[in-house]
Amino acid sequence: MNSTDLPKIFPDFQSAGDYVLDFLKRRIGFGLWMITRTEGDDWIILQREGDGINPNTVLRWSDSICFEMVKDNGPHVAPDISAVAAYENRPIVRQLPIKAYIGVPLTLADGRIFGTLCAIDPQRQPSEIVNETPLIKLMGAFLSTILNNELKLAEQRRLSERLKLDAHTDALTGLANRRAWDEFLSGEEDRCKRYGHSAAVFSVDLDDLKYVNDMDGHAAGDVLLQLTAEALRSATREVDMVARLGGDEFGIIAIECDQVGAELLRQRLLTNLTERGVRASVGMAMRNYLHDLTEAWTHADQNMYSLKKHR
């Protein structure tokens, strides 16, 4: 690869990743190069160069060699993993033909692990490839820098979207309306696909609105809706989407939220609603590699109606 092959600018993290994977495979070899994301114990293959594992494949993070590498239990370059006990004994070695390994962490601005830049090969490699360690670390730092800049830009875009969507508000509650919800859901799904984010979706339906309207009048029903909006806002973060979707139905998209965070948020929602005297059915579902946000919303809605039926 000569200087004329070098792109003048990378428009995004994905194109930079494609370039790095191709460059390293040409220079060093190895059958498969990957850029991965860790999400809990999910190890998500975001990009790859080579054969053996497809993008969006999800493996177990704690089974991987990268899991040990990021803990400094082995070297970044292992021409023969049988010489590294922490690597040779990983469960993934029993799933895939791995005799040689390369890996460096991809880190976020706060020091947390985003994922890895790594490579595996079914054959032992010459010991001289350890001399490529500085280059591989440089490529990891390069990708981490682009990733963090892009994530910062994505956050700014998300906030800009929220400001524009604020114009699409429900007059009674001040929450986003159905149009804002649909637009935000579409934009957030694109970000989830690109970076491997998880997200939680909640469907909230009031149990007593019709009764209150019939018994105490629509003014009392309006107060109930406003109390509900207050409860949902106080339980969620500023970056989350909270919307009134019509009548007594509300929706929440909790961004970059894992299963544990979603369960905690669900409990906060129930507590806040109870404290305000609001009875509601709350359904939850996760956006992950199996279900996009639209599918997660459908599941959350189904879970809510199932709960309401029991109630």
pLDDT: is 7 or 290 the higher one?
A: 290
Band of the pLDDT at 165, cuts 50, 70, 90?
A: low
Section 76-98 average pLDDT? 94
**Model confidence band, residue 162 (pLDDT cutoffs 50, 70, 90):** low
Distance CA 193, CA 107 (A): 19
Tens-place pLDDT, residues 194-251? 888 889 999 999 998 888 888 888 899 899 999 999 999 999 998 899 999 989 999 9
For residue 12, what pLDDT band results from cuts at 50, 70 and 90? Answer: confident
pLDDT number for residue 5: 58
- List C-alpha distances in Å: 5 to 21, 137, 152: 14, 22, 29
**Confidence at residue 3, expressed as pLDDT on a 0 to 100 scale:** 43
By three-state DSSP, how is residue 45 classified? strand
- What DSSP state is assigned to residue 181? H
* Bridge partners, residue 200, by sequence: 254, 286
> Which CATH architecture fits 166-310?
2-Layer Sandwich (3.30)
Copy the structure tokens of residue 168: 């699409």
- Of 154-158, 236-240, 256-260, the range with the lowest mean pLDDT is 154-158
| pLDDT number for residue 211 | 86
Q: pLDDT by residue (tens digit) across 34-85? A: 999 998 899 999 999 998 888 888 999 999 999 999 999 999 999 999 999 9
Q: What is the pTM of this model?
A: 0.64
Cβ–Cβ < 8 Å for 35, 17: yes
Q: Rounded mean pLDDT of 9-33?
A: 92
Q: Does domain 3-152 have CATH number 3.20.20.80?
A: no
What radius of gyration, in Å, describes the C-alpha atoms of the chain?
A: 24
- Measured CA to CA, the distance from residue 139 to residue 120 in angstroms comes to 17
Q: Examine domains 3-152 and 166-310 and report if their fold is the same.
A: no
Q: How far is CA 53 from CA 21, 78, 102, 288, 302, in A?
A: 14, 20, 16, 18, 34
Residues listed for the chain? 311
Nearest CA among 146, 190, 147 for reference residue 9: 146
Which pair of tokens denotes residue 212? 């209150």
| pLDDT classification of 29: cutoffs 50, 70, 90 | very high
In the chain, where the domains are located: 3-152, 166-310
Q: What is the mean pLDDT of residues 127-149?
A: 95
Average pLDDT over residues 275-298: 92
Q: Which of 15, 17, 47 is nearest to 32 (CA)?
A: 47
Q: What is the pLDDT of residue 166?
A: 63
Give me the pLDDT at residue 277, please. Answer: 93
Q: What is the residue type of 277?
A: G
Given a cut of 90, whether residue 86 has pLDDT beyond it is: yes
In 3D space, the residue among 140, 96, 146, 143 whose CA is nearest the CA of residue 120 turns out to be 96
The mean pLDDT of 275-290, rounded to a whole number, is: 92
Cβ-proximal residues to 123 (8 Å cutoff; 6+ apart), any chain: 99, 100
What's the chain's average pLDDT? 91
Q: Which one is predicted more confidently, 22 or 167?
A: 22
Instruction: Specify the range with the lowest mean pLDDT, choosing from 21-30, 66-75, 128-137, 188-197.
Output: 188-197
Among residues 66, 70, 71, which one has the least CA distance to residue 81? 66
**Structure confidence at residue 1 (pLDDT):** 46
pLDDT at residue 6 greater than cutoff 70: no
